[in-house]
Amino acid sequence: MSYFEHADCQLHYEDRGQGEPVLLVHGLGSSIQDWEYQIPHLLQTRRVLAIDLRGHGRSGKPRQRYSMSLFAGDVAALIEHLGLQRVHLVGISMGGMVGFQLGVERPELLRSLTIVNSAPEVKVKKAADLWQLAKRWSLSRLLSLETIGRGLGRILFPYPEQAELRAKVEQRWAQNDKRAYLASLDAIIGWGVRERLSAITCPTLVISGDRDYTPVSLKEAYVAELADARLLVIERSRHATPMDQPQRFNAALDDFLAQVERNQPQSPNKDPQPC
C-alpha cells in the first residue's frame, strides 16, 4: 500500500504496471475496490493508478468541510507526487465530477478524460430537483449506512444473477465513515462547473448506462458543450456500469484510449522504476 500527504490528509493510492498512465477515480461512498474489474485488464497494457479520495477507503478522514475542488486538488497532487505530466483520467459518478473539476482547474494534467454516469453540475433547476436532492440529503442522515447499502444494492443490481454484486455493495457501504460520507455528499449538492466546460479541450468519452439515475438526454446536452467529446450508451446498465457491464465497458475504454494515443504525440511520462 502506498500513501502520500496532501492538505492535511494521508491519501492512499495504488500505482502498478507500465505504459501510459490511467488514473481511476471512484464515486461517493466507494473506493479503489470498485475498479476490481478494470485494474487487472488495464494492467495488461498500461500503468494503472487509483486513489482513495479523502474520506474514503484507506485514505484519511479529516474532520473538515470537503469540496470538489479539494478532491480535485488531491488528484492533482498525486499526479505531481508521481512526477507525471499528463494522465488518462477515468471517473465514475462523484469521481467524474472530480474529473470535470480537475479539467477546468488543471487541464494541462489530462491527456484524456472518461466520465462515467456523471454530470458537470448538481444544481436545482426545477421543483423535482429540489425534492430529489432534499430527499437524498435527509435519508442519508436518518438511515444507517447498512440500510443505505442494502437499498443501493437493490437499485444498482436488481437482477437475480447479480446477487454477488449486491452483496459487495452492502458489505462495502457499511464500512464507510458516516461523517466523512455526509461531508462528501454535501460537497456534491449545489456544485457545478458547467459554465466552465470550454476549459476542457482534451478528448473526452462520456459513458452512460441506459438506465442510469440521470437520463441520457442530460449527457447528450453537456457533451455538445465540450470541445472534443463523444457519448457512448451501454445497454442493460444502471449507475455502476464498470461493475454490471465490465466487458463492454473495458472494450469501450480500450478503444478510446488507443485512439487518443494514436492521435496524440507520445506522452513524456516515465514508467515507475522496478522495486
Q: CATH number of the domain at 117, please.
A: 3.40.50.1820
DSSP 183: H
Cα(236)–Cα(233) distance, integer angstroms:
10
β-pair partners for 3: 12
pLDDT digit string (tens) for 89-148?
A: 999 999 999 999 999 999 999 999 999 999 999 987 777 777 788 888 788 999 999 999
* Residues 112, 89 contacting (CB under 8 angstroms): yes
In a domain, 42, yes or no: yes
The arrangement of strands across the sheet holding 87-92 comes to: 2-6, 9-16, 47-51, 21-25, 87-92, 110-116, 204-209, 229-234
Using alpha carbons, list the distances in angstroms from residue 53 to 76, 140, 222, 261. Answer: 12, 19, 25, 27
- Tell me the β-bridge partners of 204: 113, 229
**pLDDT of res. 139:** 85
**Domain assignment present for 37:** yes
pTM listed for this prediction: 0.95
Asked if residue 169 belongs to a domain, the reply is no
Q: Concatenated DSSP letters for 141-164? A: HHS-HHHHHHHHHHHH--SGGGHH
Whether residue 147 is contained in a domain is answered as no
Residue 270 lies in a domain: no
Which pairs from 151-157 meet CB under 8 Å and 24+ separation?
155/238, 155/239, 156/238, 156/239, 156/240, 156/243, 156/244, 157/238, 157/240, 157/243, 157/244
| Secondary structure class of 22 (helix, strand, coil) | strand
Q: Is 19 left (phi over 0), alpha (psi -120 to 50) or beta?
A: left
> For residue 75, what is the enclosing H or E element?
helix 68-81
- Which residue ranges of the chain lie beneath pLDDT 70? 266-275
178 is a domain residue? no
Between β-strands 204-209 and 229-234, what pairing exists: parallel, antiparallel or unpaired? parallel
pLDDT at 244: 97
> Cα–Cα distances in Å, from 190 out to 67, 70, 177, 205?
11, 15, 22, 24
Q: Is residue 102 part of a domain?
A: yes
How many other CB atoms are there within 10 angstroms of residue 69's CB atom? Answer: 16
Q: Which residues of 143-161 are buried (b: 16+ CB within 10 A; e: fewer)?
A: eebeebbbebbeebbeeee
Q: How many domains does the chain have?
A: 1
Sort residue 190 into left (φ over 0), alpha (ψ -120 to 50) or beta.
left
User: What's the pLDDT at 274?
Assistant: 39
Q: Classify 12 as helix, strand or coil.
A: strand
Identify whether 151 is part of a domain: no
Domain range for 113: 2-122+194-263
